[in-house]
Amino acid sequence: MYTSNELVIFTGKQIRRKWDTQKKRFMYSVLDILEFLTGTADPTTYWQRVKRRLKREGSKIAEKVKRVRMPTGEKTQITEAADTESVLRIIQSISAPHAEAVKLWMAKSGLRRIEEAEHPERAIERAMSSYLKQGHSEQWVSLRLKSIEARKRLVGEWGARGVHGAEAFRTLTDDILQAWSGMKASEYKEFKGLTTESLRDNMNNLELILNLLAETAATEISRVTAPRGFEQSRVVAHAGGEVAGIARRKLESRTQRSAVTKATFKKLQERRKLKLLKG
C-alpha cells in the first residue's frame, strides 16, 4: 500500500503526492509540478496567473484543486493539490519547454484513442503488444483480451436495460465479484495489496477465467430475462456471479486450494526472477 508521504519522480523531479482514500486516487502538488515545468522560483504567484488564465479560457479545473497537507522535509504543510486529470488540464495552460513535451504526449494519446475508435482492432493489437512487453504469458494475454470483450458486451447489455453511469456500473460489478469471489472490487484490491493498479491485470489465469465466466453468465441471463432498470439488473448480476461462484467452490473442493489468491503480476515476476537466479 502507498503511504501519504511517498514521492513520485516526474522526469527527474520529486513531486509530492498523497493518496485520497475516499476517491481512490493520488493528489499531486500543483506547485511542485509548476516549479518543475516552468523553472519559476515563485510557483505560488505563477499558479495565481494560471488560475486567471484558466478562468479566461472558461475552465473550472481550478475549482477542483484542493488544499491538502503534504510532507515538506521533516514537517508537513498545506498545499494545493489536484488529481491526474486536473493536472493534465492545468499543463495545457502552461507555456514552457517541459510542458510542451507533456502536451505532445497528450496529443499522441488522443490520436491513438481516435484511431482505436475508428479501427477497434488496433486497440486489441496495442493491448496485446503492451501486455507481452510487460512480461505476461501469451495464454494470460489471450484470456485478458477475451475478458475485455466480455466486459464490453456486459456494459452494452446494461445500457440496453436502462442502466447508465459509472457509479451504477461499479455497483453491478461489485455484485458480480462478491457473488463469485466473496469480495467487492475495493476489498479484492486491498486483499491483493493494490491501489491504483488494475484488478483484472493482476488476476492469475484461474481468477480471469472465473471472472470471465461470471460476466458472460450475467450477460446471457440478462438477455434471456430482460431486466428493467438498475435494481432488476442487480439481481441478474448476482445470479451471473453465482454461476462462477458455484464453479469456484466445486474446484476448490477437488483441489483443496483457494482459487482466489493474493498473487499479483509484480509478485509473480519477482518469483520468476528468483527462480532464474537460483537456477
- What pLDDT does 1 receive? 35
Percent of the residues in the chain that have a pLDDT greater than 90, as a whole number: 50
Q: In what order do the strands lie in the sheet with 13-20?
A: 7-10, 13-20, 25-29, 75-82, 66-72
Residue 177 has pLDDT above 90, yes or no: yes
163 alpha carbon, distance to own chain's centre: 22
147-173: average pLDDT: 95
Each residue of 115-159: pLDDT tens digit? Answer: 666 666 677 778 788 888 888 889 999 999 999 999 999 999 999
DSSP 111: H
Lowest mean pLDDT among 121-135, 196-210, 219-233, 235-249: 121-135
Torsion of the alpha carbons at 87, 88, 94 and 98, rounded to the nearest 10: 100
Residue 80 has pLDDT above 50, yes or no: yes
What would you report as the CA-atom Rg of the chain, rounded to the nearest whole angstrom?
22
Looking at the DSSP assignment, which residues form a beta bridge with residue 61?
A: none
Residue 276 has pLDDT above 70, yes or no: no
Q: Which three cell numbers stand for residue 59?
A: 475552465
Nearest residue to 231 (alpha-carbon basis) of 171, 148, 141, 188: 171
Q: Which three cell numbers stand for residue 26?
A: 493520488
Looking at per-residue confidence, does 237 or 83 come out higher?
A: 237
Distance separating alpha carbons of residues 20 and 24, to the nearest angstrom: 5
Q: Which three cell numbers stand for residue 178?
A: 462478491
Work out whether strand 25-29 and strand 66-72 pair parallel, antiparallel, or are unpaired.
unpaired
Looking at per-residue confidence, does 267 or 160 come out higher?
A: 160
Residues 89 and 26 sit within 8 Å (Cβ to Cβ):
no
Distance separating alpha carbons of residues 114 and 154, to the nearest angstrom: 23
- What pLDDT does 3 receive? 41
pLDDT grade, residue 24 (50/70/90)? confident
Which amino acid appears at position 154 of this protein?
L
- Sign of CA pseudo-dihedral 194, 198, 201, 203: positive
Side-chain-side CA neighbours of 234 within 13 Å: the count stands at 9
Q: Is 13 helix (H, G, I), strand (E, B) or coil?
A: strand
Q: What is the pTM of this model?
A: 0.67
- What pLDDT does 120 receive? 65
